[in-house]
Structures are given as C-alpha cells and as structure tokens.
Structure 1
C-alpha cells in the first residue's frame, strides 16, 4: 500500500522545497494541483528527479466544472483539464480526479431549484466525460470520476451515480 497527499496550505511555496517536505513526511506520492503542475512543469520535473517523489495524480487547478451550468466555463474547464492530463503524462502521473462540480448547487440548500434539468445535467456531464476519455486515451492517463456529498454537488453523490455514468456512456 502507498499513501499520498494533496497540496496543503502549510506546505512550502517553493516547488523543490514542497517535494522535499512531502517526501520527508513519509508520503509515497503527490496529488498535485493541476494549475501548479501546468504552470511549473519544468520545476516539477526537476523536483521529481531530485526527490524521487512521483506526481501520481492531479486534483483541481482548472476553472469550470465538467457539469458547469455555464457552457463557456464548462468548455474552458475541459481545455484546462486536457492540458493537465498532457502535463501529467509528461511527469508519469496516472490521472486526474474530477467531480461533476463542487459548490455550484445542491438540492439541500436554498434556492433548491436547479437552473438546469436533471436530463440536462446528465447530457453535459456525459458529453464532458466523452471528451476527457479521448484525451486520456491519447495521453495514456485516466480520469477518476469523483462522487461528492449532497451538499457539495447535486449530480454525482454516490459510487452508484458515478458507475451509472461509466456504464451508460461505455467509458473505460
């Protein structure tokens, strides 16, 4: 078994120092912020080489969710995730953790009426996943679909919800 960590606010800002710190804490891998990876790709490569600490996955670091209500943001997010997957491939990372959305809407808190139908949600998320599956195949990476609790997202809350997207869309 291996254990990794996401970036934390108390980690050093300098990338090499960050990698050293994570390694010294005993972690086996780093789930890096996608924007940090893309914007500092050469520094990240050098830090991996010096410390031996792999970047295993990415999480976050893009603007716009795969299920975003605003189409321009959704498409922008997909382009940014594509670049993150390309950068992950360059450093030997496995893939990116992607929720449908985070903090955008929930049926559990007011106004309790979604600006889009559930069918519309399914179509947008499904379309996004098809796009990302093609990018993942091209880059040799994986998209890890992340269910979130009902207060963080209304589209994919359970493993069964995520599985339904995977099965119905014939995703790998």
Structure 2
C-alpha cells in the first residue's frame, strides 16, 4: 500500500516546493492537477528529481456536454492525459462522467430518457478512449461520486458496468467518502468490483482526514487486500489542523488500519 495526496492540498508556490514538502512527510505520490499543464518532459524531470511519484493525472469532466465541439475537445484532452500518465509512470487518467445533479442532455422518452442517452453516449466516448489507453499502457479510470455531486455513476457496480461494456482499458476508483453514502456494504462492493479497482481515495465520514470521523476503514481495507489491491490510498479531504501536523497523524492512522485489516 502506498499513500498519495492531491497537489491542491499541498503547500508550496511551485511544483518542486510541493514535492519537496511531500518528500519530507514521507508521502509516496502526488495526484497532480494544475501542474499537468507543464510541458511533459519538464514535468517528468521535476518529478524524477523529487523522489515522489505521480499517482494519477486528471482527464476531462465534460465528456457528456451537449455541445459536440466541447465533447471532442474533452476526448482529445483525455487522450493527451493518458499519454502524460504513461510518461510520468502514473496509474492512469481519472475521469468523472459529469458533475451536477441533472442531465444536460434532452429527455427523448419514450425512445430514451436523458440518463439512458447519457449512458449510451458515455459508452461511445469511452470506446473512443480505449485505443489510446491501450497504446499508452495505462487505463482510464472512473470515479463514482455520491448522488449530490453527480447522477450517472454513484456506485462501484455502475462504474464496473461501463468497464465491462467497453474493455479492460476502462477501470474504476473506489472512494471511501462516496462509498459511505452510496454503498449498502462497502466491503462487498469492493469484492464485487475486484480487479476493476485501480485507485482508492480516502476521507472520513465528515470528509475530514481519516481518523476524524466515524467511518470504519478496516472492512474495506480487508476487502482491498482480498482482491489483491496494493496501490495508492489517495488522501482527498478537508484537513483539520495544520497539514504538517495532520499529515503524519493521518498516514500513521491509515497504515495502522491497513495492517490491522
């Protein structure tokens, strides 16, 4: 098990400063966001000099926009990010189908509802990304979010349904905060998703750092071990207290719970 954290949560004015801070903290990887716009070779050199890995890179979030030009740009952006992920040795490119409660696409009932139309369009978009992912050697992975943040992919089984329709180049993330809202049984949902899970986010029940809420991580961690997961636990949450104090405490908590699971 390795621990990562988002770039936006990390102090520092420049990427080298942020990576140096994470190195001092003993963090294994960073989820880059703003710095992903840097030239790939410059970015790779900065990362290589730091000793901290890049855990994942963000893809587009508007693959389901009603404007074909926006969708096309989102596809090209995500294809570029897949190659960037491969260049940097990251797990892959993270994709969220859409944000917000309602569909932007029309309801064509009785032919198709808006959600059915979104699902069909998303399959086509993912199939467009499949060849690039295969060529790059890294997957697109989908993040199921809770119902208050999106409506198309809320549970792991909904993410794996897209993976199994499109192919092994499409995988999923398991996020404990969202699973705590949407899954009836977190451990069972992880076991059912199995090897489709290539990345994990951790936050507690109140979206603070793990250990500051009431979420029991051990059953989920045990399930991750059962499916052979040995990748990143990415910290994505609000932080209570100064990060330089909270981060070592959180890392110790995660390692203790993982070892005990």
Same fold (TM over 0.5): yes
Contact 2:15 2:35 (8 Å CA) reproduced: no
- Matching residue of 1:54: 53
Matches of 2:152 and 2:64, distance apart in 1: 8
TM norm structure 2: 0.57
Number of residue pairs the alignment of both structures matches = 162
In structure 2, C-alpha distance between the alignment counterparts of 1:97 and 1:148, rounded to whole Å: 13
| Other structure's SS at 2:118 match | helix
Does the 8 Å CA contact 1:31/1:58 hold for their aligned counterparts?
yes
Residue 170 (structure 2) pairs with residue 167 (structure 1): no
1:72 aligns with one of 56, 69, 72: 69
**Contact map agreement 1:59 1:97 (CA 8 A) in 2:** yes
Distance 1:43 1:169, change over 3 A: closer
**Equivalent residue for 2:185?**
none
Q: 1:169 to 1:42 in 2, by over 3 A?
A: closer
TM-score, normalised via structure 1 length:
0.83
Paired with 2:87 and 2:10, the residues of 1 have a C-alpha distance of 27
Cα distance, 1:171 vs structure 2: 4.2
2:7 maps to which residue? Answer: 7
SS of equivalent to 1:148: coil
Pair 70,38 (structure 1): closer, same or farther in 2 beyond 3 Å: same
**What is the Cα deviation at residue 68 of structure 1?**
2.2
Q: Which structure has the larger Rg?
A: 2
Q: Give ranges in structure 1 of 5+ residues lacking alignment.
A: 108-112
Aligned-pair Cα RMSD in Å: 2.0
Asked which structure has the greater RCO (Cα within 8 Å, sep 6+), the reply is 1
- Asked whether the 8 Å contact 1:16–1:43 carries over to 2, the reply is no
